[in-house]
Chain A
Amino acid sequence: MKIPLSWLRDFIDISESPEQLREVFDDLGLVVEGVEYTGQDIDAVLVAKVLEIHPIEGADRIRRVVIEAGEGPLEIVCGAMNFVEGNHVPFAPVGAVLPGDFAIAKRVMKGITSNGMLCSARELRLNEDHGGLYVLDELITPVIGQPLVEALGITPDVIFDISVEGNRPDAWSVEGVARDLAARLGRPIKSPVLATTNGPSTGEVARASITAPNECGRLTVSIIENIVVKPSPTWIQQRLSGAGMRPISNVVDASNYVMLELGQPNHPYDASKVAGKTLGVRHAVPGESIKTLDGVVRELARPGRGLGDSGVDVVIVDGDDTILGLAGVMGGDDSGVSDSTTEVLFEAAFFDPMTIARSSKRHGLRSEASARFERGVDPELALRATARFVEILKQSCPEIIWRSEPIDVRGQLPRVPEISLSAFDIERSLGVSIPLDEATRLLTAIQFSVKLDGEGLLVSPATARLDVREGAAGRADVIEEIARLYSYQRLPRRVPTWAEPGGLSKTQRLRRQLRDVVVDFGAAEAWTPTLGSDADFELLDSGERVRITNPLASEESVLRNTLVTGLARAWARNVERGTGDLILSELGNVFIHPKVAKAPRATKGGVAGSVTLELPEERERLAVLLGREEDDARTAVAFAVGIFNRLGVANVVLRTPEQTPNGFHPTRVAEAIDRQSGSVLGFVGEVSPMLLAALEAPEGRRVGYVDLDFEALADESRATRQATEAKIPSKFPSALLDLAFVAPDSVHADDIRSALQLASDEVEAVSLFDVYRGTSLGEGVRSLAYSVRLTPRDSTFSDTQIAKIRELLVDSARHLGAELRAQ
């Protein structure tokens, strides 16, 4: 909310500089988002009369204007179109320096010399209006050559743009901010001048009723007569402009003025358009609709999308039961004040915050009124605000009559809580003891009522503080108020300790280790989007997907169920940039729709967490995309094997999967299986050529890909670790045997390796070192050559021992169907 310093001064004496005030505001939690200086640097601007306007040949956006500013006619080239000959406008002569260090100099355009500039309100920082020149004729009786500041009665001002927190409905007004400031500075706060009634009883002509008492706690109606609609005095206009509102007419301006100053949203109706001068507040019923001021027809009383929104709308109706407005949100477009209005029916009310919040959300309609009502307007403010409205209106219409005994109907008002508070409560929360008399002083300064109650206090919040709750929660609210006014910066600091050591879980340590390994092996770790498009995933035919109901764009409407699309896309972009010679990795969540998930996540949901919901299974995967020139499935295998070795996952076999996993090349892929547990730990291979083609990757380029299941890797019952017992290497020399077997394609090379490993206790290590295919071997078979390292335990090997072991080795391979290859 924008608050002019001059307006604050109506309420409190201020000697602090704007910079000092800013710090005080910040420390009170009234965070200043910006400070603006207005009415400065415009002393040189004069009131000028437009004498002539001429078109300029060859230019349709600028015109030649002749003005008189007291020293004879001057030619100006001007781009604004909103004025006519005879108007008076602000004129900045050559040599003037306008706000923003904007120096005015002679300029020549289309051969015409412009001797200064005619200004818009925004150029002078008077308000935001930049639709054309600031035409003065409606505002003042202009005097040619008079300095503008004098003509408009402008004094330099400072505008604080204060961000009001959601729990401070009271601070959304000049008076509320002043009250906080006064409490902190220990100064008295002044009350604004209020009008008193001066006419016959309101009840003689007007009526009001509430038939929705839970939603409308209070409805007040006043009748104000003898009104002449015209522009407001300049000072009121300036205050509104300073606060960011456009001046319209004295009645509307007074209505806005009161809302800004005291925080009471209100509505002035043209009394002649309100049937029976009667207002009623009732529930809307299904089938009813209203055309709001913004021109939109809105269907009322329809249940909303959100949890627990049954669709309650409350409307204001007149004596004929015609709907005049959506209560607390926005009026209709028929009953407003116009130039011919002479009598105003003024409504000021209190509506239930949640009702207004739901209505406003459901209709997608936010207004200054709804924003205030949904946070909670002081229920005791209505008539005081009316008195202030009349007083402000009197500034332009001194003759107005405000009928006495305004109508004041009540529904259900929120209960004012009474909260017990002890010195111990304060210390227990803030860690410092603040004496109760100090707390009392701070709270009463913001109009909380405080009573002594035994050792402690009984506190009731100001009526404007609907955010303060009952019971323990209310106690926390009150303690926050004490701390806030006392200043957070004065509160002590202490570093707590506890017995339990901090640290990472085993899984978290493994996650770090995995990341390190992958980076050590040369990957650049990427962060690709969690949200993708249907097209991205359709390419992989990956089944049911989890969708976003309200995506920002269709490219970001589906939760990824694989990392491959994101990584492949990131790689392809790098290829386009000529930086595609790289390995990319990512460790992140993929989402499996509960309909197809093996283990959908059951969690509490619904209102008050009363139902069980099935949410997507979130699986953490590690993906590595090997995109260097020479990379392919082989490098992917080497990469994956390296990872397993580094994690101590000792016994993994790569087998051809029954089904091609998402995103992989169908004939160049394997699943990595833990031999001992039989669990699938992930997949290794190449990226699907179809996906690469869709991403317009270079034709024929192979891209290696590793996709590991992090949870499986972290689970030692699935990813079996190497034995923890350390082996001491034998002191006796080893023997190396090279054995080549001819094995059918159906026999897995690693099964043979494993069999060789287990053939004898003396086998220390076995590794595959050559694979050969050739016509001499026949179809459907290949030669697999293994290097076997034999190490004796107790003595040096004899030749016969070696021969015996060799036999065992050959036998074990034969059991699998592999025959020793003839030399």
Chain B
Amino acid sequence: MSDSSPLANLDSQRDELIRQINEISDFAVLREQEPLLVGKRSLLTTLQRTLGQIAENERKEAGALLQGARRLVEDRFNERFAELEMVERAAKLEADRLDLGDVVVSAVRVPVTVGHPNLVASTQRELEDVFVGMGFSVADGPEVESDWYNFEALNIPPAHPARGMWDTFYVDLGEPETVVLRTHTSPTQIHLMEAAVKLGDPRVHAVMPGRCFRRDTPDARHLAAFHQIEGLVVDRGITFADLAGVIETFTRAYFGPTISSRLRPAFFPFTEPSAEFEITCTICQGDGCRTCSQTGWIELGGCGMLDPAVLEAVGIDGSEWSGFAFGFGIDRCAQMRHQIADMRALIENDARFLRQFS
């Protein structure tokens, strides 16, 4: 390349730019200088425009050289930019520092704000209270479960077609499809019975509320996460009549004296005999309307006598003890009571929605 080439001093020009960049230690200055260093008004951009003057046979090579220089300068600029930005951010945060140990609490004046309990949480509480009044205790359980607790101990063996009843989210742990987000609160039953057996007294009288998950695209009537409350009684001499009595007592206590319950046969792997329980339609009080498809009844949940296979899985002697379980949706109770047209409002957390409940 001849000395008269516009790129004759490229190396030193490049080094000079890098030196300038290195010298800047203030983020604001660097930003201010950006156009001159690497931008539209920079030396390298000016040189770019002179490429046209170079003989065609040398132009490609010159272009490559210029590109190489530009890359070096830009890389350095970007590095410096990040360094100084971090310094700047740290300085800003430092300037913002507040030792919270020095906060004079009595001097903090906050406006009075009226709070609002969450609808689902207060519905859960109300349901718990009804059952506590009937002599139940309340038990909690984890949301991530093994296949054993969520399915197999509940008499739903691997690949059993009944698994199709639950659209399951699998958790990426262990062997494939062995850890799940619980699809129902029923695994807590197993935990409770196992714990009771360990203590040598298999009796359980408990309800188990909690969050569950189903892999189902949310719509106005379903959410992928939802809340269930499940009941479990294990004792001597417990029969289907006790189950039906508990369901009826609960129904009247929670929904009111004009609402009653009825049971009809259904299938759940963990209970036998099993039933679905329906309550008088709360919209039409049983006269028949669109909500209840003119039947006067709406489905609320499932229930049944503990299946002998479940008792066996947890080591309870089914010839001495018997029991029942039932379960239904907490969100659904809230939906019914407040005629919530779109369940997605429950997870939207719009202040205007939240403030309706007290």
- Interface, chain A (partner B; CB < 8 A): 22, 26-29, 31, 34, 165-168, 304-309, 353-354, 357-358, 361, 374-375, 427-432, 469, 471-473, 475-477, 479-480, 483-484, 488-489, 491-498, 500-505, 508, 512, 515-516, 518-531, 546-552, 556, 559, 570, 573-574, 577, 579-580, 582-585, 587-589, 591, 594, 601, 603-609, 613-616, 618, 628, 630-631, 633-635, 637-639, 641, 653-656, 665-670, 684-685, 689, 745, 748-750, 767-771, 782, 784
Q: Does B161 contact A (CB under 8 A)?
A: yes
Given contacts A484-B273, A583-B115, 14 further A-B contacts (CB under 8 A): A31-B266, A430-B241, A493-B245, A494-B244, A494-B245, A502-B132, A502-B205, A525-B116, A527-B120, A527-B349, A549-B170, A628-B113, A633-B100, A637-B108
Q: Is the CB of B239 within 8 A of A493?
A: no
Selected from B159, B273, B319, the residue in CB contact (under 8 A) with A480 is: B273
- Bound-state CA distance A375–B295 (Å) is 30
- What are 14 pairs between A and B in contact, CB < 8 Å? A29-B265, A31-B264, A307-B178, A375-B161, A496-B246, A498-B235, A504-B132, A508-B140, A526-B354, A531-B224, A546-B172, A601-B142, A616-B173, A767-B106
* Nearest CB of B to A114, in Å: 34
A488 touches B263 (CB 8 A): yes
Residues on B with beta carbons closer than 8 Å to the beta carbon of A473: 272, 307-309
Q: Let me know if B350 is at the binding interface, CB within 8 A.
A: yes
10 closest Cβ pairs, A-B complex: A29-B265, A431-B241, A522-B113, A431-B239, A605-B146, A480-B273, A165-B267, A525-B118, A519-B115, A670-B100
How near does chain A come to B330, taking the closest CB pair, in angstroms?
11
B148 and A547 form a contact (CB under 8 A): no
Task: Say yes or no: B104 contacts A770, CB within 8 Å.
Answer: yes
A358 with B159: in contact, given A28-B265, A430-B239 (CB under 8 Å)? yes
Could you tell me if A306 and B159 are in contact, using CB atoms closer than 8 angstroms? yes
Q: Which one of A501, A528, A782 lies within 8 Å of B349 (CB-CB)?
A: A528
B106 partner residues in chain A, CB cutoff 8 A = 767-769
Contact yes or no, B169 A548, CB < 8 A: yes
* Closest CB in chain A relative to B257 CB, distance in Å: 15
CA distance A527 to B223 in the complex (A): 12
Closest B residue by C-beta to A579: B351
Residues of B within 8 A of A309 (CB): 158-159
Task: Determine which of B96, B177, B205, B352 lies in contact with A306 in the assembled complex, contact meaning CB atoms within 8 Å.
Answer: B177
Question: What is the distance, in angstroms, from B97's C-beta to the closest C-beta of chain A?
Answer: 4
Please name the residue on chain B nearest to A529 by beta carbon.
B347
* A667 with B93, Cβ < 8 A, contacts A354-B159, A493-B248, A604-B148 known: yes
| A525/B354 in contact, CB under 8 A | yes
Q: What is the CA–CA distance of A515 and B140 in the complex, to the nearest angstrom?
A: 17
Q: Which residue of B lies closest to A605 (CB)?
A: B146
Complex-state Cα separation, A27 to B224, whole angstroms = 31
Cβ-neighbour of A477 out of B111, B224, B272, B346 (below 8 A): B272
A-contacting 9-mer, from B20-28, B32-40, B80-88, B211-219 = B211-219
Closest to B237 in A: A428
Please judge, given known A-B contacts A526-B349, A615-B179, whether A667 and B158 are in contact too, CB under 8 Å.
no
Least CB distance from A302 to B in Å reads 13
Structural contact, B178 and A605, CB atoms closer than 8 A: yes
Which B residue sits closest to A667, measured CB to CB?
B97
Closest B residue to A427 by beta carbon equals: B239
Closest chain A residue to B244, Cβ basis = A493
Of A502, A527, A548, A685, which contacts B135 at CB under 8 A?
A502
B49 within 8 A of A: no
CB-CB contacts below 8 Å: B90-113 with A? 93-94, 96-108, 110-113
Q: Is B74 an interface residue (CB 8 A)?
A: no
Are A609 and B224 interface neighbours, CB within 8 A? Answer: no
Asked if A528 meets B177 with Cβ closer than 8 Å, knowing A361-B159, A472-B308, the reply is no
Are the C-beta atoms of B267 and A307 separated by less than 8 Å? no
Question: B184 an interface residue at 8 Å Cβ cutoff?
Answer: no
Per-residue CB proximity of B142-153 to A under 8 Å, as 1/0? 111111110011
> Known contacts A525-B117, A530-B143; is A489 also within 8 Å of B263 by CB?
yes
The answer to whether B48 has its CB under 8 Å from any CB of chain A is no
Residues in B with CB closer than 8 Å to A428 are 237, 239, 322
Known A480-B272, A483-B273, A556-B224; contact A547-B177, beta-carbon cutoff 8 A: no
Q: Give bound CA distance, A505 to B140, whole Å.
A: 10
On whether the beta carbons of B138 and A505 are closer than 8 Å, the reply is yes
The one of B96, B116, B159, B350 in contact with A308, judged by C-beta atoms closer than 8 angstroms, is B159
Inter-chain CA distance A618–B346, complex, in Å, is 23
Q: Would you call A549 and B98 a contact (CB within 8 A)?
A: no
Note all chain A residues with C-beta closer than 8 A to B348. 573
The distance in angstroms between the C-alpha atoms of A630 and B273, with both chains bound, is 60
The majority secondary structure among interface residues of chain A is mixed
- B107, closest chain A residue (CB): A769
Report chain B residues within 8 Å CB of A472: 308, 312, 318-319
A548, chain B: closest CB distance, angstroms? 5
Binding site for A on B (CB under 8 A): 93-94, 96-108, 110-118, 120-121, 125, 128, 131-138, 140, 142-149, 152-153, 157-162, 165, 169-179, 181, 203, 205, 211, 213, 215, 217, 224-225, 233, 235, 237-242, 244-246, 248-249, 262-267, 269, 272-276, 293, 295, 305, 307-309, 312-313, 318-319, 322, 346-352, 354-355
- Name the B residues within 8 Å of A305 (CB-CB): 176-177
CA distance A523 to B112 in the complex (A): 11
The answer for the CA separation of A47 and B276 in the assembled complex, in Å, is 48
Please determine whether A488 and B275 come into contact, CB atoms closer than 8 angstroms. Answer: yes
* A496–B136 touching, CB < 8 Å: no
Minimum C-beta distance from B346 to chain A (A): 6
Instruction: Select one of A354, A484, A515, A745 contacting B160, CB under 8 A.
Output: A354
Looking at B144, B217, B249, B273, the one whose CB has the most chain A CB atoms below 10 A away is: B273
Q: A473-B307, A530-B143, A654-B101 are in contact. Are A429 and B113 (CB under 8 A)?
A: no
Closest CB in chain A relative to B12 CB, distance in Å: 41
A609-B162 in contact (CB<8A): no
Chain A residues with Cβ below 8 Å from B115 are: 518-525, 583, 585
Evaluate whether A655 and B238 lie within 8 angstroms (CB atoms) in the complex, with A306-B159, A353-B161, A579-B351 already known. Answer: no
State the CA gap A357–B156 with chains docked (Å). Answer: 13
Bound state CA distance, A770 and B134, in angstroms? 54
Return B148 CB to nearest CB of chain A, in Å: 4
Complex: A654 Cα to B102 Cα, angstroms: 9
- Cβ contacts under 8 Å, A771 to chain B: 102, 104
Given the known A-B contacts A480-B265, A608-B152, are A552 and B217 also in contact in the complex, defined by CB atoms under 8 Å? yes
Known: A307-B147, A655-B101. A550 touches B169 (CB 8 A): yes
Q: Are A307 and B172 in contact (CB under 8 A)?
A: no
Q: Which residue of chain A has the shortest Cβ distance to B155 in the bound complex? A: A473
Q: Contact between B245 and A745 (Cβ–Cβ < 8 Å)?
A: no
